[in-house]
């Protein structure tokens, strides 16, 4: 186990380049199961989760070449098993993305219920409901999910909640189903559009991705292709917040402004200056007295739940009292207790957190990364806290942020990574 040691460093300045999107590349890698031909994927971030997905593909018989120096992964070959090892599934929730493609390609899939961050109930029932609507027989015994189908058949799938993962899993499975499938109340996230674009390059016939109704016309087979992953909008938002919380001036490059409109809007409400420059977004909060605002997480295009924790860290440093309402995950305030260790005094009542402003400046403390985005929030808080902040269990952070420490330090932060022998396992 390792930890970050964060020292107060003053305002951040300079430029930072955003990596490819973790939440886009994982389903795209899973989709390579749908073809035996070569798929070359560019702008792949070097992350723990990406490594796990590549290992899952290899366990299925695929050949995977990882060239992280060039941020490229090449996947080829056929699948020779329908079972994914539990030791890989337990590491990452996104391992379940492989189920839909496996059933569509091989007629079977056997997988344990997935692991990942403990941020609340993220049931796989919508994934299973969708596969069953497409004609798969799905049996759940204890923690194992077994799915089979001689031939998936297109159908109308209505999602009770616009789940990103379920939308993607059903879309991949439907790509090789017989006939036409329609996903109603589909999630609209940019990562779904990116996956649809990848599948269409492979020969799929998908329309409506990015809206709440996606139409998939099944085809007999898919071929190899080349694809560049979209920039990571959550990493983009995190560095925008890093600029604001440090009262710095940072140009965040290689990003899509349309993907982070809610974050831009809330930063402006707080009093920061946000402007678009070429392929980047500049956030300037130098010398500014930022003020409180209210945040309510919603499915895209609303304020992203993945940005709730970093933004909460920012709100502990502004004037006035803010409120944060979490509507997506019921257990996504675990970082609030850790921020309170640093003097934030956040009050949580159900799905609403009240965040007092900067009457009491943050102070360094030993805190624990509770999940991926909560861990990032603690590092951002450490940038402005008096003294030294130790953030433990940073494997959560390294699941989703490529070179997080290095990127912060090139902006003027003081973050070091050290092994923590007391937590070695």
284-333 pLDDT, tens digit per residue, is: 999 999 999 999 999 999 999 999 999 999 999 999 999 999 998 777 89
Q: How confident is the model at residue 117 (pLDDT cuts 50, 70, 90)?
A: very low
Q: Which two tokens stand for residue 178?
A: 């017989």
Positive or negative, the Cα torsion across 86, 43, 23, 282? positive
pLDDT at 87: 85
Looking at residue 121, what is its pLDDT? 42
Q: Give 137's Cβ-side CA count (13 Å radius).
A: 6
Closest C-alpha to 152, from 219, 209, 65, 250: 219
pLDDT at 116 over 80: no
Which residues have a catalytic role annotated? Answer: 117
Sheet-wide strand order for 414-419:
366-368, 388-392, 2-7, 414-419
pLDDT at 119 over 50: no
- pLDDT value at position 114? 65
Q: Output 264 or 112, whichever has higher pLDDT.
A: 264
Kindly report which listed range (1-5, 124-128, 268-272) carries the lowest average pLDDT score: 124-128
What pLDDT score was predicted for residue 414?
A: 98
The CA distance from 255 to 259, in Å, is 8
Check pLDDT > 60 for residue 261.
yes
**CA 42 – CA 396 distance, rounded (Å):** 24
Query: If you search the block for the tokens 């792949």, which residue do you land on?
Result: 44
| DSSP alpha helix (H) spans, 162-307 | 164-174, 190-201, 233-245, 261-270
pLDDT value of residue 123: 65
Q: Where are the alpha helices (DSSP H) in 116-201?
A: 125-133, 164-174, 190-201
- Could you give the C-alpha distances from 237 to 119, 208, 311, 313, in angstroms and in order? 19, 26, 9, 13
- pLDDT for 86: 85
Nearest-10 crossing angle of helices 164-174, 190-201: 10
**pLDDT category of residue 120 using cuts at 50, 70 and 90:** very low
3-state secondary structure (DSSP) of residue 419:
strand
pLDDT at 191: 98
* Positive or negative torsion for Cα 307, 310, 313, 319: negative
pLDDT in tens, 363-404: 999 999 989 999 999 999 999 999 999 999 999 999 999 999
- What local confidence, expressed as pLDDT, does residue 125 receive? 87
User: Average pLDDT in the 20-26 region?
Assistant: 97
Cβ-proximal residues to 337 (8 Å cutoff; 6+ apart), any chain: none
What mean pLDDT, rounded, does the chain reach?
A: 94
Model confidence at 94, in pLDDT bands (50, 70, 90)?
Answer: confident
Q: What is the pLDDT of residues 152-211, one digit of tens each?
A: 999 999 999 999 999 999 999 999 999 999 999 999 999 999 999 999 999 999 999 999
């Amino acid at each position: 186990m390792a930890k970050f040691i964060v020292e107060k460093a003053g305002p951040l300045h300079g430029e930072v380049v955003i990596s490819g999107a973790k939440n886009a590349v994982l389903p795209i890698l899973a989709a390579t199961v749908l073809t035996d031909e070569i798929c070359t994927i560019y702008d792949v971030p070097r992350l723990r989760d990406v490594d796990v997905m590549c290992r899952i593909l290899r366990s299925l018989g695929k050949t995977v070449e990882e060239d992280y120096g060039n941020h490229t992964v090449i996947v080829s070959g056929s699948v020779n098993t329908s079972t994914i090892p539990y030791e890989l599934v337990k590491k990452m929730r996104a391992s379940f993305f492989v189920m839909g493609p496996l059933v569509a390609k091989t007629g079977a899939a056997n997988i344990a219920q997935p692991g990942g961050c403990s941020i609340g109930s993220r049931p796989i029932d919508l994934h299973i409901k969708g596969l069953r609507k497409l004609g798969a027989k799905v049996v759940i015994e204890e923690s194992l999910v077994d799915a089979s189908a001689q031939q998936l058949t297109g159908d109308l799938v209505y999602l009770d909640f616009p789940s990103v993962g379920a939308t993607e899993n059903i879309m991949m499975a439907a790509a090789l189903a017989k006939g036409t499938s329609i996903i109603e109340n589909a999630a609209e996230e940019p990562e779904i559009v990116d996956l649809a674009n990848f599948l269409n390059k492979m020969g799929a016939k998908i329309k409506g991705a990015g809206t709440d109704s996606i139409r998939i016309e099944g085809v007999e087979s898919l071929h190899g292709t080349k694809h560049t992953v979209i920039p990571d909008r959550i990493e983009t938002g995190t560095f925008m917040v890093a600029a604001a919380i440090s009262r710095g001036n940072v140009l965040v490059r290689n990003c899509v402004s349309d993907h982070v409109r809610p974050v831009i809007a809330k930063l402006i409400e707080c009093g920061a200056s946000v402007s678009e420059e070429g392929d980047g977004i500049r956030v300037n909060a130098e010398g500014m007295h930022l003020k409180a605002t209210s945040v309510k997480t919603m499915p895209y295009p609303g304020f992203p739940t993945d940005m709730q924790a970093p933004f909460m860290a920012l709100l502990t440093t502004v004037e006035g009292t803010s409120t944060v309402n979490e509507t997506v995950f019921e257990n996504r305030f675990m970082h609030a207790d850790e921020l309170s260790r640093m003097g934030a005094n956040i009050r949580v009542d159900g799905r609403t957190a009240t965040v007092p402003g900067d009457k009491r400046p943050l102070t360094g403390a030993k805190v624990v990364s509770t999940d991926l985005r909560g861990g990032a929030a603690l590092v951002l808080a450490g940038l402005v806290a008096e003294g030294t902040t130790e953030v433990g269990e940073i494997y959560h952070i390294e699941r989703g942020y490529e070179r997080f420490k290095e990127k912060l330090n090139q902006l003027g932060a003081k973050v070091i990574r050290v092994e923590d022998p007391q937590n070695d396992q």
